[in-house]
């Protein structure tokens, strides 16, 4: 039974001090490291938000728009984010304490300026796949555990896509390995993931199994 760990966007930009910080985002780094070093997983994947500096999800690209308000991108509703995780900048690097040498595969996303990509599997319009589903299928992954940042955006969309694109694969959400942007949308996101068949679990339970 091939087991995989998918770590979502554990980058400086989403940790305190970053350009789009998630409260306590850095606190999940030790959880990731403990899981990676445990030997529980056959393959370890990390996603990396990797935007060009003119990415259309940035409020800076929409004159008159403010950050964190709802705007439009390519004719569709789009949250206006601060500039974040720009390719090649420190903001886009993985958190410096993350045990990156244990990561087998890095899936970058959000490179097309005309569309955002919360999910590690495909763009928000659900057209362009990143190829991660194929990579996991090729490895014969049957169990996929997901953690990272942020629960109510990139983690949620990645987990829902995993359920959609990987039929027959057991998908679990490592709850103590996630932090979210807004407590209300975090609760809704967990409910939505659970309804889609994603099973919440803690890292302690995984490591004691
Ligand atoms: Zn982004």
Q: What does DSSP assign to residue 66?
A: -
Indicate whether 209 pLDDT > 90.
no
**CA nearest neighbour of 68 among 59, 77, 76, 60:** 59
pLDDT tens profile 79-135? 999 999 999 999 999 999 999 999 999 999 999 999 999 999 999 988 899 999 999
Say what the pTM is. Answer: 0.97
Task: Identify the architecture of domain 2-51+92-207 in CATH.
Answer: 3-Layer(aba) Sandwich (3.40)
pLDDT for residue 149: 98
For the annotated catalytic residues, the residue numbers are 9, 109, 154
The tokens for 133 are 């589903």
C-alpha–C-alpha distance, residues 154 and 184, integer Å: 16
56 CA from centroid of ligand 1 (Å): 10
Q: What is the largest CA-CA distance in the chain?
A: 53
116 CA from centroid of ligand 1 (Å): 7
C-alpha–C-alpha distance, residues 112 and 85, integer Å: 13
């Amino acid at each position: 039974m091939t087991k995989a760990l998918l770590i979502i966007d554990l980058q400086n930009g989403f940790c305190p001090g970053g350009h789009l910080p998630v409260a306590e985002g850095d606190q999940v780094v030790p959880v990731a490291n403990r899981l990676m070093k445990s030997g529980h997983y056959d393959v370890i994947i990390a996603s990396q938000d990797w935007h060009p500096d003119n990415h259309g999800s940035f409020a800076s690209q929409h004159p008159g728009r403010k950050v964190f308000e709802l705007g439009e991108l390519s004719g569709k509703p789009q949250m206006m984010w601060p500039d974040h995780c720009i390719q090649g900048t420190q903001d886009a690097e993985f958190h410096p304490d993350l045990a990156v040498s244990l990561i087998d595969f890095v899936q970058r996303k959000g490179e097309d300026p005309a569309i955002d990509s919360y999910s590690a599997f495909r763009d928000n319009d659900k057209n362009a796949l990143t190829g991660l589903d194929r990579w996991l299928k090729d490895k014969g992954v049957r169990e996929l555990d997901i953690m990272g940042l942020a629960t109510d955006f990139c983690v949620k969309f990645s987990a829902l896509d995993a359920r959609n694109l990987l039929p027959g694969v057991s998908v679990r959400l490592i709850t103590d390995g996630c932090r979210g942007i807004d407590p209300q949308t975090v609760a809704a996101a967990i409910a939505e993931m659970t309804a889609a068949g994603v099973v919440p679990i803690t890292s302690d339970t995984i490591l004691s199994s």
